[in-house]
Each structure stands twice: as C-alpha cells, then as structure tokens.
Amino acid sequence: MFHRTGKEPTPEDFGALLQPSEALEPVLAKPVRAALLEWLMEIWAAEDLQAVGVQPRKKALFAGKPGTGKTTLAHHLAARLGLPMLAVRPDRMMTTYVSESAANVGRLFDAVAAHDGGPLLIFIDEFDSLASERVQSAHAPTNAYDHNHMVNTLLRRFDEYDGYIIAATNDPAVIDKALWRRFEIQIEIDLPGQFERERILERYLSPYRLNPVALTALADSMDTASPSLMRQWCENVKRQLVVGPKAGWDMGKRSVIARILASVSPHPDLGKPRLWSLGADDAAIASLPWPLTTEIASAAPADATRPETEQNGGNVVAMGPRQ
Ligand SMILES: Nc1ncnc2c1ncn2[C@@H]1O[C@H](COP(=O)(O)OP(=O)(O)OP(=O)(O)O)[C@@H](O)[C@H]1O
Ligand SMILES: [Mg+2]
C-alpha cells in the first residue's frame, strides 16, 4: 500500500487525527470515572513517580459493547492530556500482500515517532481484528504465518513505544494473550445504568427538557440501550420536531415515536430495549409531554434526591497489570 507511493507515510495515512478541542466528555458510571481520574492523577504525578523509579501506566485496553463510548472516552482522555489522538483504522493496516500488514504496523509507529506536530495518543479501534491469538500449528497456512508475524511486530513495537496507546475491542477474549498482558489498565465499559441513561437523555434531548417523571420513565424504557442508540433516538426526536411541521408530517406523539423507532435500530449484538418492543404503546410514551418544550413546569433536577449509591451502575474496572 504505502511502499509504492515513494513517500514516507504520515499518521493520517492510518486513520483520523482528532484534536483535543473536538472531544466530548462521555457520561460514565462512577467506577469508570474513578478509574480514569486515578490514571490521570498518576500521569500528572509523572515526575514524582520517576523520582522513585516508576513510570505512569501508558497502555490501556477498553472493552465494551458497540456504541458504549470507547472511542469517545479515548478521545476525551487524549484531550485531558492535551494530546491529539490518532484513531487508527485497522483496515488501513491489513493488506492481502504477504507480510505487508506487519510492515504497516512498523510504518505506523515510525510515522507517529516522526510526526512533526509533537506526541500523539495512539488509539486502535477494533483491536481484536488486528491482534487475535496467534496460530501455533506447524502446518499453519501462509495467512496464519503473516498474522503471527504481525502480532509479533505489534508486541515488539508496543514494548519499544514510550507514548500512550489505547486499544478498544468488543471482544477481549480473542486478543492474543501476550499482547493482552501488555495493557497495564483494562477498563470494561458497560451499558449505562438508569442514572447514566437519564443523563444521556438530558444531554442529547437538550435544549428540549423533560420533567423528572417523564425522564425517569423514558430512561427506564431504554433499559438495554447503548448511549449511541440513545443519542440517535434523541437526535431524531429533534429532527422530527423541527422538520415535521414544515414538511406537513403527522406530528401526533404516537406517529412521531413510531417513525423514529422504525428508523433507529438497536445493534444486532445488543438486546431490544423495551421501548423498541412495545413501541408507542410503552407506558413511557404515555407520560411523555407532547410536544416537547425547552421549559419544564417544575425545574427540580431529576437526580437531586437520588442517593449516591444508586449512581454506580455496576461497571467493572480492572486497574492492575495482568499477571
Ligand atoms: N457514554 C457516553 N456518553 C455520551 N455519549 C456517548 C457515550 N457513549 C457513546 N456516546 C455517543 O455515541 C456515539 C458512538 O460512541 P463511540 O463511537 O464512542 O462508541 P464505541 O464504543 O467506540 O463504539 P464501537 O464499538 O462501534 O466502536 C458517539 O456519537 C458518542 O457521542
Ligand atoms: Mg469505537
């Protein structure tokens, strides 16, 4: 791919370069937020740590279902560190040419090292597609040999690289064990709990606002929804509210909700949230004020009386190096 252009590849040949100013803070459950803060504190204390002979951890693996915010979180972290993020696309690394994929791994790390805009955080999405377990058989086919070669190259480059690397996967179990052990931090990002769903709905429905009862009911009806699906749903509500009256569409509540549910589908790997099963018949739709407005009658925030313990969600975080 790159060898025929005659030019040294730049980081952007491997994916998008995202700037800190474009980052969005994801809504996260408390244990995940706590783990990130712990990591950031460690990074900010790098000099003090060096004085006692250790370095802050620099390699993290984010595992989670599609649309839970892995890319958003990595970008947010890069922004907190003041670094641009190179969002590597694995399809730019893989080629059908013998041994080219391993060479591309080398080219990627060389391009990042030579980047004249300063250090970057490397984010590798769909890491499982690049880094699945090596094949051990002596009779392995050529493509298996090439795959093993690429994983070995990744291992070597990971060990040599002194910057930040975050990899994301929907399926951590298939990742090569030796590579997996290179990650000093593993964070599992669960689907959001009720509290997080309410925050996500508030964020993406804004400037429209829901009263606390309607917000709680709607978040409850989206029980197994990913943040990505919820964002799409909310943005489609806003599109309908703005475009519908101009276009002469039926703006009755049930018609609008039915149109949205028909055009926004949950990821096939995730269950169907209740709202998608019951549609406009869901009780949450009955309590939804209509049309939505930017004001709410009683402006008490929905979470004001909620105890801290309810906000935890139950996410799993592992911050130790794998043995
Ligand atoms: N926790 C969250 N809080 C707020 N918004 C979120 C959150 N998670 C995802 N989103 C929104 O959903 C969309 C998809 O998120 P993102 O690409 O970060 O998910 P992902 O886990 O990387 O998905 P994939 O597995 O498909 O790569 C983005 O527009 C993002 O703004
Ligand atoms: Mg992603």
Q: What is the pLDDT of residues 174-186, one digit of tens each?
A: 999 999 999 999 9
Give the end-to-end CA distance of the chain in Å, rounded to a whole number: 37
Instruction: Judge whether 1 lies within some domain.
Output: no
pLDDT at 319: 44
Domain boundary among 171, 188, 205: 188
Residues 56, 165, single domain; the answer is: yes
Residues 20, 107, single domain; the answer is: yes
Domain hosting 291: range is 194-300
Query: What's the 66 CA to ligand 1 centre distance in angstroms?
Result: 8
- Between CA 172 and CA 186 the distance in angstroms is 10
State the closest ligand 1 atom to the C-alpha of 72, by its place in the atom list counted from 1: 18
Residue 200 has which token pair?
A: 């996500």
The CATH number assigned to the domain holding 34 equals 3.40.50.300
Share of the chain above pLDDT 70, in %: 87
Q: What is the mean pLDDT of the chain?
A: 88
Domain boundary among 135, 169, 188: 188
Residues 56, 163, single domain; the answer is: yes
Which of the four pLDDT bands, split at 50, 70 and 90, describes residue 300?
very low
Which one-letter amino acid corresponds to residue 107?
R
Q: Which residues contact 316 (CB under 8 A, 6 or more apart)?
A: 31, 188, 190
Query: What's the 70 CA to ligand 2 centre distance in angstroms?
Result: 5
Whether the CB-CB separation of 214 and 173 falls below 8 Å is answered with no
What value does the mean pLDDT take over residues 212-240? 97
Q: How many domains are contained in the chain? A: 2
Q: How is residue 273 annotated by DSSP? A: P
Helix ranges restricted to H, the chain: 30-44, 46-51, 70-80, 90-93, 100-113, 127-130, 142-160, 177-181, 194-205, 212-221, 227-247, 253-263, 274-278, 283-286
The burial class, CB within 10 Å (0-12 / 13-18 / 19+), for 312 is middle
Ligand 1: which of 24, 27, 68, 199 to mutate, most ligand atoms within 8 Å of CB? 68
At 7-41, the pLDDT tens digits run 789 999 999 999 999 999 999 999 999 999 999 99
Domain boundary among 170, 188, 206: 188
Instruction: Judge whether 268 lies within some domain.
Output: yes
